[in-house]
Amino acid sequence: MANNQQLTNLVNYGLVKAHIAMGLLFFIIVALMGFLYSLQLDGIYPFPGIEFLSPGRVRMIHTAGAAYGFLVNLFTGLLYWAVPRFTGYRVLSDALGWFMFIALQAAVLITVVGILFLGQADNVEWGETPWWIDPIIVFWLLLHLIQFGAPLFKASQRGPLYVSGWYISAMLVWTPLVVFMGNLIPRFWSAGTGAGAVQSTFIHDLVGLYVTPVAWGLMYYFVPVILKKPMWSHGLSLLGFWGLAFFYPMNGVHHFLWSPIPMFAQYSAVFATVAIEFAVTSVLINFMMTIRGSAEQLKYNVPLRYMYTGAIFYWITCFQCAFHVTLTFQKVIHFTDWVTGHAHLIMFGTFGLWVLGMAEYVWPKLFGKETMYSKGMSEGAYWLLAIGVFAMFFDLTAAGLVQGFDWIGLNPWIDSVNFSKPFWYFRSITGIMMITGLLMYAINFYKTATTAKGLTAELKSESA
């Protein structure tokens, strides 16, 4: 069909495939790294005394790898699919795209070697990449800006951009600024408390100004496409975007409440964080009203179910955040596993499930097929991942309360370790669930790509 032909020319399928495949591979690797680290907490680490598999180093691969290996790869792959399709223009250059693809994998691999074997880590949480890698990442992000900026710019010459375009445009500008700020300013242009303020801004901005806008941008594209109807309210889309754009960058200092950072910065962060929940709720209302009347699709459409499960987890995380960001809650839960649970629900439960859902929607189409290889594996992976991550969240939240009150009670330190052990055992079990789900998902992907059968979405008739 003419229409299909046009779309094939718009999107470079190879780049989408390569990024999604690598992203999925890194997703499994960083999940395994997290699982390994959790075994150390359980006291049953399988590789004690091996220098390059020291749990401290493995944990940095878990976090830095999740940022650059898993999320950047998957998001970039999905952007290569979505941006040309909603703007109607190709990305700047395919050759640049392949160069960026190789450069990104090289940066991630050098980081892994640097942290595990060379002892070259950086003590910026979520920016554990060795500091000499960071300028390269900033340069990569500038290439990323022109690569995806070109179609967005061309489209906005023609008329107003679609909602996804606003989120992605802002993200393209924010991300290089954020990575530059968070990794280089604390090392070279400040120290101590000032550096702490920059680092906390960075931790949150990488979530708030890269992951969140690109993920919402993609959601605003994929959900209406799958449901075959427009978003419920354009006004709420505007409100959600501008609310996020104004309040999100100011949230960062809430990571270091009660620290030596001047109180006005801490108060502004608390205020901005509570304010952002209103923006988030407006976005959520928009999405929930969009699916109104089509909710039965959640029963059959696994990608859509991933997206709405992620959206509900997103709202839970943000609602939780509005409370635990206050100075009162921080007395108890700061430094505890509560925060770890929160981080996993947002990164895995929301953004992880979203990219998996979107990738599962895109993947068969890339190979000219209509559905995934196995419906059973699709469903199984979904339930393992969704139940696993929510159970982990619940478990770690409870563990955080136990730890927090135990520390306030001035019991011997080892008590808090012993009291946490049952929670940590359970956390490792949920980790096994999540990794099993991921492997199932990956096998399904592999089979979909390689099977000779033409997979069609036709319903099998019962009698035949």
Nearest in space to 378 (alpha carbons), one of 362, 392, 354, 357: 357
Nearest in space to 404 (alpha carbons), one of 347, 340, 346: 340
Q: Amino acid letter at 22? A: M
Select from 300, 418, 422, 446 the one that contacts another protein (CB under 8 A): 418
Select from 56, 135, 293, 422 the one that contacts another protein (CB under 8 A): 56
Q: First CA to last CA across the chain, in angstroms?
A: 31
Shortest Cβ 343–another protein spacing (Å)? 9
Select from 33, 41, 304, 372 the one that contacts another protein (CB under 8 A): 41
CA distance 378 to 344: 22
Shortest Cβ 403–another protein spacing (Å)? 8
Nearest in space to 80 (alpha carbons), one of 126, 17, 154: 17
Would you count residue 200 as binding another protein (CB under 8 A)?
A: yes
Contact pattern for another protein over residues 71 through 90, marking x by CB under 8 A:
--------------------
Q: What is the size of the binding site for another protein (CB under 8 A)?
A: 96
CA distance 430 to 337: 15
Would you count residue 43 as binding another protein (CB under 8 A)?
A: yes
Angle at CA of residue 267, ends 264 and 268, nearest 5°: 85
Contact pattern for another protein over residues 266 through 305, marking x by CB under 8 A:
--xx--x---------------------------------
Select from 32, 85, 180, 190 the one that contacts another protein (CB under 8 A): 190
187-196 contact pairs (CB < 8 A, 24+): 187/122, 187/131, 193/259, 193/260, 193/261, 196/256, 196/259, 196/260, 196/261
Burial (CB count within 10 angstroms: exposed 0-12, middle 13-18, buried 19+), residue 367: middle
Q: Quickly tell me which residue has 């499930």 as its tokens.
A: 353
Would you count residue 103 as binding another protein (CB under 8 A)?
A: no
Contact in structure between 198 and 186 (CB atoms under 8 Å): yes
Which CB sits closer to another protein, 107 or 197? 197
> 426 Cβ partners below 8 Å, 6+ apart?
391, 395
Would you count residue 132 as binding another protein (CB under 8 A)?
A: no
Would you count residue 308 as binding another protein (CB under 8 A)?
A: no
Would you count residue 51 as binding another protein (CB under 8 A)?
A: yes
Site for another protein in 328-357 (CB under 8 A): 330-332, 334-336, 339-340
Would you count residue 379 as binding another protein (CB under 8 A)?
A: no
Contact window for another protein (CB under 8 A) among 1-9, 299-307, 314-322, 412-420:
412-420
Shortest Cβ 272–another protein spacing (Å)? 8
Select from 74, 92, 179, 197 the one that contacts another protein (CB under 8 A): 197
Q: Amino acid letter at 91? A: V
Would you count residue 152 as binding another protein (CB under 8 A)?
A: yes
Select from 258, 300, 323, 446 the one that contacts another protein (CB under 8 A): 258
Would you count residue 326 as binding another protein (CB under 8 A)?
A: no
Would you count residue 187 as binding another protein (CB under 8 A)?
A: yes
DSSP label at residue 459 = P
Contact in structure between 358 and 307 (CB atoms under 8 Å): yes
Would you count residue 113 as binding another protein (CB under 8 A)?
A: no
CA distance 223 to 225: 5
* Angle at which helices 73-87 and 212-227 cross, to 10°: 50
Contact window for another protein (CB under 8 A) among 225-233, 262-270, 345-353, 363-371:
262-270
Shortest Cβ 424–another protein spacing (Å)? 8
Site for another protein in 211-240 (CB under 8 A): 238
